[in-house]
Amino acid sequence: MYRLLLFLLIPRVALAAPDPRKATVDKIIAAALAENSAHQRLAELTDGIGARLSGSPQLEKAVLWGVKSFEADHQQNVRAEKVMVPHWVRGAESGSIVAPVQVNLHLLALGGSSGTPKGGITAEVIAVRDFETLDALGAKVKGKIVLFDHAMPPFGEKGTQYGETVIYRGTGPARAAKLGAVAALVRSVTARSLRTPHTGATRFDARPIPVAAIATEDSALIGRLLEKGPVRVKLELGAHTLPDAPSANVVAEIVGREKPDEIVLIGGHLDSWDVGQGAHDDGAGVVMVMETLRVLRALDLEPRRTIRAVLFTNEENGLKGAFGYGAAHQAELSKHFAAIEADTGAFAPLGFYADANPDGLARLRAMTALLTSLGATEIEPSEHSGADLTPLLATGATLLGLKMDASTYFDYHHSEADTLDKVDPLLLQKDVATMAAMTWLLAEEEQALPAVARKIPTK
């Protein structure tokens, strides 16, 4: 009797009502993890088509593959939306230290580089670690090859610091050219290397010069040699730029049942660099987008809003696909409710980067609380959700980027090593489950998410 009275006197704590969305989310996750169609689809793209640089026949094969794959999945409103893209060609390339020792360099020309004259360029090297050093050299740069020897820190040291490192690849060569450099070299943007160079884009406002990324080991060697005296390097690059070529964004939809004019966009980019297979960057993201639609269609789920999948062209060296989408859909950009970009490889999912205000972040965290079984519960505030979402920055839409354990991503990024064998099929399935579940939650959200004012950066 005493225990009964004690029980009756203890204040009762109301149990939280179960989230009504959880059953559907669990069903989506189970369906995504039940089969390995994602890895099979990635093999079709990587082993079957290969590297897909803008302007190449392989990219256009990928566009046709995307259309046919969406049609085979019985998606709605499948189409290829035409876009003109840059057509840069690598050509034959080589480089070597010719003095004080002779050593072959492991290099890849950067997208946007010009070629060298017949017979190549041989010149003395000046190494800099930052733009302040470059600017201080001034006229001393004229006639030289400038090496940007800025080392990217290992993962976990103040983040990856990718953004603080990649600027030397993106704008360094142009700054060196304005000071009279005849060519430039850039230490590959990676913290770990087995003498493998990593390519990428560089931008010139005026006349381009020859520029190549070199393996981190070769950059370090040149640095050590320069401590003892002058170093001369010979470069022979066959890089050249052709007229813009036709390409397309591939689009497919699941039309919303209640608000078909409101759009949740999910995207990845079809193009890759012309080395490796573009498996992590961004074949995996493309597959996540396609499989998200496939899983939701297979479960006969009809979202409140339209889910639009976009496989963007030309993310790597121009963003013509992104801005082409913005131009083609100008009239409905304000109808975009939210968007997710997948462009961080295929690793263990952690959650999402989110460009949202505090109220929006709280709402998003309530959604990812349903993804505990996948370990994808993080919502990290970020102003960068993904390059292909740039046209949506000024719309007020909530923009998300899939967040991964990126500790090894830059080991493969833009290199010959970005191949199918580096992708773990189970992790890829978990990524699909994460993206599919979050896409459904956004498409089903009853209330509008708080808008965020942003500015679109210049191209």
pLDDT of residue 7: 46
Is 90 exceeded by the pLDDT of residue 17? no
Which CATH fold would you assign to the domain 22-88+243-444?
Aminopeptidase (3.40.630)
Under the banding of pLDDT at 50, 70 and 90, the label for residue 5 is very low
How far apart are the C-alpha atoms of 413 and 49, rounded to whole Å?
19
Q: Judge whether residue 4 has pLDDT over 70.
A: no
Using the predicted structure, report yes or no on whether residue 214 has a pLDDT greater than 50: yes
Six-digit token pair at 315? 């993310």
| pLDDT over 50 (residue 329) | yes
Name the band, by pLDDT with cuts 50, 70 and 90, for residue 155: confident
For 404-417, the DSSP string reads: E--TTHHHHTTSTT
pLDDT of residue 158: 59
- What backbone phi and psi angles, to 5 degrees, belong to 100? -85, -10
In this structure, of 10-14, 236-240, 409-413, 449-453, the range with the lowest mean pLDDT score is: 10-14
pLDDT at 458 over 60: no
Parallel/antiparallel/unpaired status of strands 232-237 and 121-128: antiparallel
With a cut of 50, say whether residue 386 has pLDDT above it. Answer: yes
CATH 3.40.630.10 boundaries in the chain: 22-88+243-444
Q: How far apart are CA 151 and CA 135, in angstroms?
A: 19
Q: Name the band, by pLDDT with cuts 50, 70 and 90, for residue 161.
A: confident
In angstroms, the CA 458 to CA 13 distance is 55
Tell me if 341 sits within 8 A of 401, measured CB to CB.
yes
Query: Tokens 């679109």 correspond to what residue?
Result: 456
For residue 131, what are its two tokens? 């733009």
What is the Cα gyration radius of the chain?
Answer: 25
Tens-place pLDDT, residues 57-94 = 999 999 999 999 999 999 999 999 999 999 999 999 99
- The predicted-structure confidence for 195-212, as pLDDT tens digits, reads as follows 999 999 999 998 999 999
326: helix, strand or coil: helix
Tokens for 111? Answer: 């997208």
Burial class of 378 by CB neighbour count within 10 A (0 to 12, 13 to 18, 19+): middle
Neighbours of 309 (CB within 10 A): 27
Which tokens hold the place of 41? 């689809």
pLDDT at 13: 47
In the chain, the largest separation of any two C-alpha atoms, in whole Å, equals 101
**Which CATH entry fits the domain spanning 91-238: 1.20.1290.10, 3.40.50.150, 3.50.30.30, 3.40.50.720?**
3.50.30.30
What's the rounded mean pLDDT across residues 414-425? 98
Cα 345 to Cα 265: distance, rounded to the nearest angstrom = 19
Identify the residue with better confidence: 457 or 431: 431
Q: What is the rounded CA–CA span in Å between residue 369 and residue 379? A: 10
Counting every residue written for the chain, the total comes to: 459
- pTM of this structure: 0.94
- Mean pLDDT lowest for which of 24-38, 123-137, 341-355, 444-458? 444-458
302 is catalytic: no
DSSP designation for 218: H
Which of 93, 315, 444, 445 is the catalytic position? 315
Q: How far apart are CA 179 and CA 1, in angstroms?
A: 92
